[in-house]
Amino acid sequence: MIRFRPAFLVFIGLASFGCGASAASGSSGNTLTPEPPARVVQGQVSYEARHPTPSGTSLAVQRRPARRVTVWAVAEDGSALAETRTDDAGRYSLRVPGRAVAVVALARIDDGAIQLVVSPNADGAAPHRFGRPVAEIEAGILDLPIADDAPGGPAGAFHILDSLLRGSRTVHEWTGRDLPPFFAYWGRGVTHDWSYYHGEQPADSGRYGIELLGGEPDAWISSDTDEHDEAIVLHEFGHFVMDRLTTDSSAGGDHGGGALIESGLAWEEGRASFFGVAVLGAPFYRDTIGREPGGSTRVNDNFERRGSDPHGPGSEIGVAEVLWDLADGAGGLPDEDHDGVALGPAAVLQAMIDIAARPGAFPAVDSFLRFLIDDGRVSLSDMKHMLVVGDQPMSMIPPAAETYPFALSLGTPRRGHIDSLSNPAPSGGPARRGSGYDAVRTYRVHVPSSGRLYVYLDIEGTGRGADHQDLDLELRDIRASLLASSRDEKPGESIAQDVQAGDYIVQVRGGGQGNRADYQVSARLE
């Protein structure tokens, strides 16, 4: 369990501010001191932001307005006596009761349809906060300048919040849609596992959340923190956007540069990265570690210039590059390579929404590009030209019958091959054993009516890990949630699962330690 160390001023009592006694306490036994009159206080809430550099986040800071954030006048016990919110310049005006002890800015936005929180708690229950005592009000003015190097780095919470606001507003601009309530769990030196999209938190709450890296305890200045990496924040927010507005084709697993990965995983990770850079309006995707000059970049990609990683339908960066090329040249996105296609980011996201409405939708980049061609949104010749200019392989647009996922008809077996052992892998690049493009084969099976679905995997070999022939079988719903699995070490694996009518996903996977085997997969319904 991680214990939170405060990343903000804590308002417990008057001693926090070195203030005097409360208004209700008297100077003599029976005489009450009248409460001072309320007054209108104005000011600006601002925070220090840093930007990525090749050697970590910048030493230099930029002061930015904390837009639309909640501002409280608080009592001695920390409760709110009055509330307002800042405008887009970070300005606020608040009627502060006489018994208030502080004016506090919360890392919370509750602005009509946009509800966002950045919290130091895993459940997102309470936002980060920063404030100053009312004793510091001068001539009715109290600014709240939030410093990044203050204990706990409170400015980071407000930078995350503003990035989420930018993402929310952009989605509404592109689609006209509003998103459910959302929170980010982040604390400097607190959240140091990884950055994730956690989905609905808790289940059935209607609220969704991410966790963002806050660096190692007492070493955040040299370890990985994501509060100032806007592309990373928006990448994780992008998973939320795609989850709520479109589909989910990812069963999860390790991903990143250097190797091809399973197509659905590559699609979800690549389009989340595309979303991040499209919101920012430039093709640069950067993830820093530590602070300059002693830091570095974990990722420093330009989606207009193909990198050295293997490319194809299993390329996470390839997905992002292709989506950028589809969008750039319109909607405010610059087009450096003049690839000939300029849909704009709103149209690309709308196409993702449209393909999601099709029965059994479980797209990857190849089926998405095929959808754009077949639907007349991009011609085949223009699509091929775009891929050539971007130095992308034509395997990105295979024939419709060979797009992801492969069709598995009831009663008709299909043969396949898993190879997560050979290095380089058959598809190119190093083998990735758990989630690699060659380690997983994905099928879609249509079930016409409710019943009991049986799925069989027959391995041509022993099925033993010691012989590098261990293959596993998984059954998932159309949003990639695991329904059942079989993970034995024998020549045959099978699943029996009660299902309703609809489409389901069958995955054949290498056992994880490096496997190579031919197989046959089949399904029947009773």
User: From edge to edge, which strands make up the β-sheet containing 80-85?
Assistant: 80-85, 70-74, 102-106, 129-133
What pLDDT, on the 0 to 100 scale, is given for residue 415?
97
Q: For residue 524, what is the enclosing H or E element?
A: strand 516-525
Measure the CA–CA gap between 479 and 467, rounded to whole angstroms.
33
Structure tokens at 498: 């009660």
What pLDDT, on the 0 to 100 scale, is given for residue 28?
41
What pLDDT, on the 0 to 100 scale, is given for residue 449?
98
CA distances from 1 to 10, 183, 185 (A): 22, 20, 14
Give the torsion through C-alpha atoms of 310, 312, 315, 320, to 10 deg: 120
Beta strand pairing call for 406-407 and 451-459: unpaired
Measure the CA–CA gap between 145 and 46, rounded to whole angstroms.
5
| Residue keyed to tokens 């003015």 | 141
pTM for the whole thing? 0.93
Measure the CA–CA gap between 138 and 498, rounded to whole angstroms.
69
Neighbour count for residue 271 (Cβ, 10 Å):
30
User: From edge to edge, which strands make up the β-sheet containing 451-459?
Assistant: 414-419, 516-525, 451-459, 492-499
Q: For residue 432, what is the enclosing H or E element?
A: none
> Domain 411-525's class?
mainly beta
The DSSP call for residue 204 is: T
Partners of residue 64 on adjacent β-strands: 47
SS3 506: strand
Give the torsion through C-alpha atoms of 140, 146, 149, 152, to 10 deg: 110
What pLDDT, on the 0 to 100 scale, is given for residue 32?
66
Measure the CA–CA gap between 507 and 441, rounded to whole angstroms.
6
What pLDDT, on the 0 to 100 scale, is given for residue 30?
53
Instruction: Going residue by residue through the chain, which has 526 residues, state the pLDDT in tens, using 9 for 90 and above.
Output: 223 233 333 333 333 332 322 333 333 445 567 788 999 999 999 999 999 999 999 999 999 999 999 999 999 999 999 999 999 999 999 999 999 999 999 999 999 899 999 999 999 999 999 999 999 999 999 999 999 999 999 999 999 999 999 999 999 999 999 999 999 999 999 999 899 999 999 999 999 999 999 999 989 899 999 999 999 999 999 999 999 999 999 999 888 778 999 999 999 999 999 999 999 999 999 999 999 999 999 999 999 988 778 899 999 999 999 999 999 999 999 999 999 999 999 999 999 999 999 999 999 999 999 999 999 999 999 999 999 999 999 999 988 878 899 999 999 999 999 999 999 999 988 999 999 999 999 999 999 999 999 999 999 999 999 999 999 999 999 999 999 999 999 999 999 999 999 999 999 999 989 999 999 999 999 9
> Among residues 256, 263, 260, 310, which one has the least CA distance to residue 287?
256
Provide the CB-side half-sphere exposure for 464 (13 A, CA). Answer: 3
The DSSP call for residue 526 is: -
What pLDDT, on the 0 to 100 scale, is given for residue 12?
31
User: ∠ CA 255-258-260 to the nearest 5 degrees?
Assistant: 60
Q: For residue 200, what is the enclosing H or E element?
A: strand 196-200
> Among residues 315, 348, 335, 326, which one has the least CA distance to residue 238?
348
Query: What ranges do the domains of the chain cover?
Result: 246-404, 411-525
Please report, as a single letter, which amino acid is at residue 204. Answer: D
Measure the CA–CA gap between 75 and 219, rounded to whole angstroms.
35
| Helix spans in 263-379 (H) | 263-280, 316-327, 345-356, 365-374
Measure the CA–CA gap between 140 and 299, rounded to whole angstroms.
46
Partners of residue 145 on adjacent β-strands: 46
Q: For residue 260, what is the enclosing H or E element?
A: none
